[in-house]
């Protein structure tokens, strides 16, 4: 058993199968809470616990999948480039909106971490919660954060954004679809963008653009905020 689970192919195969099941369940139910990432993590934990498989054995293959987060992060530049015309026409409000949202997201985490007395590792892990997973994990790992906590925070943030963004838009009386899309994409990355696409084409486009720009801002601002943690 140990020889089987110790192979890198075991970790890769288990992750792929768990993710495939998660995607199927998400498509079947259509529920936000049935996010494929959450289901994948839950299934992986269940298998490791039930069969008493050491995490180190699983990570022999899991680390190979984790290696692709780097290229995935670089690919976020494609999102910005694909909407370059839109960015050129509205560069000032887009950049200002993404910067304001990123500062609010990071600033709120710093404030709450100070209030609750969280240490530096936890604070750094939570800082990139509002950006997409590849960028968030890169920022967290690069500054001494705990990657699993970062991933969990990103997923929870995305689900909350997907659920409450339409209500907040109504409450705050946001009429401009561009502003709505930027707000959703900046605070709740891809899961929020899925909801933005349901609201309208402009909302979805601006939300997708905000994912890449806010990710860049987060990576840059994390360098500066590290000195005040």
Domain spans of the chain, in order of start = 2-67, 72-228
Task: Indicate if the pLDDT at residue 44 is higher than 60.
Answer: yes
**How large is the average pLDDT for residues 71-76?**
67
Q: What are the backbone angles phi and psi of residue 185, rounded to the nearest 5°?
A: -65, -35
Q: How far apart are CA 142 and CA 82, in angstroms?
A: 28
How crowded is residue 113: how many other Cβ atoms within 10 Å of its Cβ?
A: 19
- 85, burial (CB in 10 Å: exposed 0-12, middle 13-18, buried 19+): exposed
Is residue 206 pLDDT above 80, yes or no? Answer: yes
pLDDT at residue 69 tops 70: no
pLDDT in tens, 133-192: 888 988 898 888 898 899 889 988 988 888 888 888 999 898 888 889 899 989 888 888
Q: State how far the alpha carbon of 125 is from the alpha carbons of 85, 111, 137, in Å.
A: 34, 14, 8
* Average pLDDT of the chain, as a whole number: 84
- SS (HEC) of 59-74: HHHHHHHHCCHHHHHH
Residue that the structure tokens 């409000």 belong to: 93
| pLDDT, mean of residues 42-47 | 91
Q: What is the Cα–Cα distance from 113 to 95, expressed in whole angstroms? A: 27
Nearest to 31 by CA among 195, 141, 144, 225: 195
Q: Which residue reads 């936890």 in tokens?
A: 122
Q: Give the CA count within 13 Å in the CB-facing half-sphere of 130.
A: 29
Residues whose CB is less than 8 angstroms from the CB of residue 149 and which lie 6 or more positions away in sequence, other chains included: 122, 125, 126, 140
d(CA 39, CA 153): 15
- What is the pTM (predicted TM-score) of this model? 0.73
* Average pLDDT over every residue of 41-70: 84
Examine the pLDDT at 49 and tell me if it is beyond 90: yes
pLDDT of residue 228: 57
Is 191 or 218 the better-scoring residue by pLDDT?
A: 218
Q: How high is the pLDDT of residue 1?
A: 59
């Amino acid at each position: 058993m140990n020889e089987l689970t110790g192979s890198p192919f075991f970790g890769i195969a288990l992750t792929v199968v768990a993710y495939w099941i998660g995607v199927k369940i998400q498509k079947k139910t259509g529920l936000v809470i049935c996010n494929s990432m959450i289901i994948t993590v839950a299934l992986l934990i269940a298998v490791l616990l039930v069969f008493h498989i050491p995490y180190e054995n699983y990570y022999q293959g899991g680390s190979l999948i984790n290696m692709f987060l780097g290229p995935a992060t670089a690919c976020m530049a494609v999102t910005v480039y694909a909407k370059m015309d839109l960015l050129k026409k509205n560069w000032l409000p887009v950049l200002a909106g993404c910067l304001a949202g990123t500062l609010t997201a990071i600033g709120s985490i710093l404030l709450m971490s100070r209030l609750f007395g969280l240490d530096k590792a936890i604070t750094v892990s939570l800082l990139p919660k509002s950006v997409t997973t590849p960028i968030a994990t890169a920022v967290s790992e690069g500054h001494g954060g705990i990657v699993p906590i970062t991933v969990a925070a990103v997923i929870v943030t995305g689900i909350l954004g997907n659920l409450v963004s339409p209500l907040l838009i109504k409450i705050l009386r946001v009429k401009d679809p561009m502003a709505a899309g930027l707000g959703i994409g900046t605070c709740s990355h891809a899961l929020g963008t899925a909801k933005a696409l349901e609201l309208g084409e402009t909302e979805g486009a601006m939300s997708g653009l905000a994912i890449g720009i806010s990710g860049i801002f987060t990576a840059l601002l994390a360098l500066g905020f590290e000195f005040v943690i």
